[in-house]
C-alpha cells in the first residue's frame, strides 16, 4: 500500500506554509500531528526549494532540523531528511533519520553519494537540473518522459558506482522542478517508465500544492477582471488528493503531501477498491 510522507518545513520561506513551523517546538508538534493524521514518514527540511528560493548557510540548515529530528525520532516516528547537503544528511541520520530525501539526486553535493553509501540508509534521488533560482530556465524537453527517465537512470548508475545499494534507491520524477505546464502531467501519466529504471522499483511522487495543480484548477478572479487565474496554494489540497488517488492506483511507493489525513483516506479507499476487484477474480 502506498505510504504517506508528511511535509514538515522548518523554514521561514516555503511556498505553502513557510514560517508556520519554523520554531523547533512548533515543528515537533506539527510532526507529531502529521503522524497522528496518518503520515508513515515525516520529511523534515530546513531549506526551501520553492522557485526562486536562495540557499541557506549549511550551519543554519543543520541547526533548524536537528532538534526536530531528534525529538520526532525519539518518539518512534520514521523521519526523513530533505536536504541536498551531505553534511546535513550525515548529521540527520546520526540524529535518528532513516531516509535521505535529496531533491538534487546527488548533483548538488559531490560528497552526497559517498556519505549515503556509508550511512546505509534509504536514499530518494529526485530528477533535478538546477537550483531553485535557475530551474525554470532548464524546463525545456523534446520528450519529457524519456529524458527524465534517462537522466534518472544515469543518476542510478552513478549512485550505485559510489557504493549505494540498489535496493536502497528510490526515484522521484521531480514534479515542478525544471518542469512547467503539461510536462508534470505527462510524467504522472507514464510513471511505469520511471519505475523501470528504479532498481528498488520504488517511486516517490511529490505533487502537493504545486504550481501545475493551481494552473489546472483555475478560479475566476471575482475581485479583479473576472478572468480565470491559477488557484492559490492554500486551495490546492483537493487536487493534490486526486493525484494521490491516481498514484495509489499505480502502486507508487509513497506520496509526499502537506495534508496527511486526506492522503491516508485516499490510499485506504484505493486499497479497499483494489481488494474488492481482486476478490471478484
This prediction has a pTM of 0.91
Question: For residue range 145-168, what is the model confidence (pLDDT) as tens digits?
Answer: 999 999 999 999 999 999 999 999
DSSP bridge pairs for 4: 255
Range in 49-58, 64-73, 191-200 with the lowest mean pLDDT: 49-58
Catalytically active residues, by annotation: 210, 256
DSSP string, 180-219: -TTHHHHHHHTHHHHHTT-TT--BEE--TT-HHHHHHS-E
Look at residue 247 in the predicted model and tell me its pLDDT: 98
Q: For 234-264, write each residue's pLDDT tens digit.
A: 889 999 999 999 999 999 999 999 999 999 9
Residues 150 and 147: their CA atoms lie apart, in Å, by 5
Question: What pLDDT is attached to residue 222?
Answer: 53
Higher pLDDT, 20 or 82: 82
| 54 vs 62: CA distance, rounded Å | 16
Tell me what pLDDT residue 50 has.
Answer: 72
Amino acid at each position: 500500500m502506498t505510504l504517506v510522507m508528511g511535509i514538515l518545513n522548518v523554514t521561514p520561506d516555503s511556498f505553502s506554509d513557510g514560517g508556520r513551523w519554523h520554531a523547533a517546538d512548533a515543528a515537533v508538534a506539527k510532526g507529531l500531528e502529521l503522524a497522528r493524521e496518518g503520515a508513515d514518514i515525516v520529511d523534515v527540511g530546513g531549506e526551501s526549494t520553492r522557485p526562486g528560493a536562495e540557499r541557506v548557510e549549511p550551519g543554519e540548515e543543520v541547526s533548524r532540523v536537528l532538534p526536530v529530528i531528534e525529538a520526532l525520532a525519539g518518539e518512534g516516528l520514521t523521519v526523513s531528511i530533505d536536504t541536498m547537503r551531505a553534511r546535513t544528511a550525515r548529521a540527520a541520520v546520526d540524529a535518528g533519520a532513516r531516509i535521505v530525501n535529496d531533491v538534487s539526486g546527488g548533483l548538488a553535493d559531490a560528497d552526497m553519494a559517498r556519505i549515503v553509501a556509508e550511512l546505509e540508509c534509504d536514499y530518494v534521488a529526485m530528477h533535478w537540473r538546477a537550483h531553485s533560482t535557475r530551474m525554470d530556465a532548464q524546463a525545456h524537453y523534446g520528450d519529457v518522459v524519456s529524458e527524465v527517465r534517462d537522466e534518472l537512470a544515469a543518476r542510478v548508475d552513478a549512485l550505485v558506482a559510489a557504493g549505494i545499494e540498489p535496493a536502497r534507491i528510490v526515484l522521484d520524477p521531480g514534479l515542478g522542478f525544471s518542469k512547467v505546464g503539461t510536462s508534470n502531467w505527462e510524467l504522472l501519466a507514464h510513471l511505469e517508465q520511471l519505475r523501470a529504471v528504479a532498481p528498488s522499483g520504488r517511486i516517490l511522487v511529490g505533487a502537493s500544492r504545486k504550481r501545475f495543480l493551481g494552473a489546472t484548477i483555475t478560479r475566476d478572479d471575482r475581485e479583479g477582471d473576472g478572468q480565470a487565474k491559477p488557484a492559490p496554494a492554500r486551495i490546492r489540497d483537493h487536487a493534490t488528493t486526486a493525484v494521490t488517488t491516481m498514484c495509489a492506483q499505480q502502486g507508487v511507493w509513497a506520496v509526499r503531501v502537506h495534508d496527511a489525513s486526506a492522503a491516508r483516506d485516499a490510499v485506504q479507499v484505493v486499497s479497499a477498491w483494489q481488494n474488492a476487484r481482486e476478490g471478484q477474480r
